[in-house]
């Protein structure tokens, strides 16, 4: 009986590990990810693979989960303690930034040069929300948001206060990239 119970537990654990690996990743580890909006199913994207500091980040159709475009791959790097992260574009090597250290709703989220460990507008925290995360700016306390609850290609990313009604445009899945 104990042997059968052990086998059942081993199978359940193995299938849980497989399902977690295929879904959202836990940002407890530095790594490379495609960041996908729950509302649209589109990825955070640096338009036209720009390397220009100040370029607005948008959502775009995922180019490929198996071989993603570098302008849709983001690298999470610890910024201080375990719960704080910098998010770098793999293509441009620039980081996700709330433009001008703004604390306003609808402030643009852009790529920008890394301004070091004191740049709180470039530091983000992740809070689990179902199978995804709310990604919060350390500077403003506001959330990474797809503007206007848009599901359109090219919609800009901004920061906005936490929504309680239809918050899907503030929830993102992390798809691990090898």
**What is the domain extent for residue 137?**
2-176
Please report, rounded to a whole number, the percentage of residues in the chain having pLDDT higher than 90: 74
Mean pLDDT for the chain overall: 86
Lowest mean pLDDT among 55-64, 65-74, 137-146, 154-163: 65-74
* DSSP for residue 61: -
Tell me how many domains the chain contains: 1
Residue 83 pLDDT level (bands cut at 50, 70, 90): confident
pLDDT of residue 16 exceeding 60:
no
CA 3 to mean position of chain CA atoms:
42
- CATH code, domain carrying 142: 2.80.10.50
The pLDDT value recorded for residue 11 is 35
pLDDT of residue 93 exceeding 70:
yes
Q: Judge residue 90's burial from the number of C-beta atoms within 10 Å of its C-beta, 0-12 exposed, 13-18 middle, 19 or more buried.
A: middle
């Amino acid at each position: 009986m104990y042997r059968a119970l052990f086998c059942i537990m081993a199978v359940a654990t193995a299938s849980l590990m497989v399902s977690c690996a295929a879904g959202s990743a836990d940002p407890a580890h530095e790594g490379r990810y495609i960041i996908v909006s729950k509302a649209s199913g589109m990825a955070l994207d640096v338009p036209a693979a720009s390397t220009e500091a100040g370029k607005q980040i948008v959502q775009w159709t995922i180019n490929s989960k198996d071989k993603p475009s570098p302008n849709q791959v983001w690298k999470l790097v610890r910024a201080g303690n375990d719960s704080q992260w910098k998010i770098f574009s793999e293509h441009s090597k620039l980081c996700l930034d709330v433009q001008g250290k703004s604390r306003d709703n609808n402030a643009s989220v852009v790529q920008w040069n890394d301004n070091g460990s004191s740049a709180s507008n470039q530091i983000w925290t992740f809070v689990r929300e179902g199978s995804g995360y709310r990604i919060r700016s350390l500077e403003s306390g506001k959330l990474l948001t797809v503007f206007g609850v848009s599901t359109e290609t090219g919609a800009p990313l901004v920061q906005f206060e936490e929504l309680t009604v239809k918050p899907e445009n503030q929830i993102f899945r992390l798809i691990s990239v090898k």
